[in-house]
Amino acid sequence: MANYFAHETAIIDAGCQIGPESRIWHFSHIMSDADIGERCNIGQNVFIASGVKIGNGVKIQNNVSLYSGVICEDDVFLGPSCVFTNVTNPRSFINRKEEFRTTYIEKGATIGANATIVCGNRIGAYALIGAGSVVTKDIPRFSLWTGNPARQCGWVSKNGYKLEFNAEGIAICPETQEKYLLKNHQVSLAE
């Protein structure tokens, strides 16, 4: 007996792994060899291809397709209808499955609604990609990106609040009071 919930309209292929307490909603399709962690929420009409790896506590909103090569660490949020690619120059008349490129989403990152993530890029931990943005390169951790193509417009805390750094490169999260350091265009939590 499964230790996860799947709506009766969901299609769960044999050979996939789904962790305890995960929930899979209406009309979603999980292919064989997909790996979904614990306590994940897979929204309506989500497609997860073979070879996709999803960490624990990931939330995937409605109408998202995750193709082979996508890897999400723990606590990632994928907004409604965000898009992932897996080939940089697709053609219907050419088989390019050997050219699939990995897209890696690090712990706690957020991808906004309708954002597009071009394959082969890495989204850093706790980064926030704004709704409708098009990501065409690697994204540093704790960074905030918007637009098409996406451009950095700031830094955010683990809790998603915009950080304002002083002249010494120090910022405080307004919600948690955690201290962040900005050095060499990299942000880290102060110890």
Over the stretch 87-99, which tens digit does the pLDDT of each residue have? 888 888 888 777 7
Query: How confident is the model over 26-47, as a mean pLDDT?
Result: 98
pTM of the predicted model as reported, rounded to 2 decimal places? 0.95
Supply 180's token pair. 């962040």
Residue 177 clears pLDDT 70, i.e. is over it: yes
Single-letter code of the amino acid located at 27: F
DSSP code for 138: -
**How confident is the model at residue 1, as a pLDDT?**
61
Of the candidates 56, 187, 54, 41, the one whose C-alpha atom is nearest the C-alpha of residue 124 is 187
How far apart CA 166 and CA 181 sit, in angstroms, is 10
Q: Does the CA dihedral 94-52-149-137 come out positive or negative?
A: negative
Report which of residues 152 and 92 the model is more confident about.
Answer: 152
Torsion of CA 30, 133, 96, 122, to 10 degrees: -80
Q: Does domain 5-160 have CATH number 2.160.10.10?
A: yes
How far apart CA 151 and CA 136 sit, in angstroms, is 10
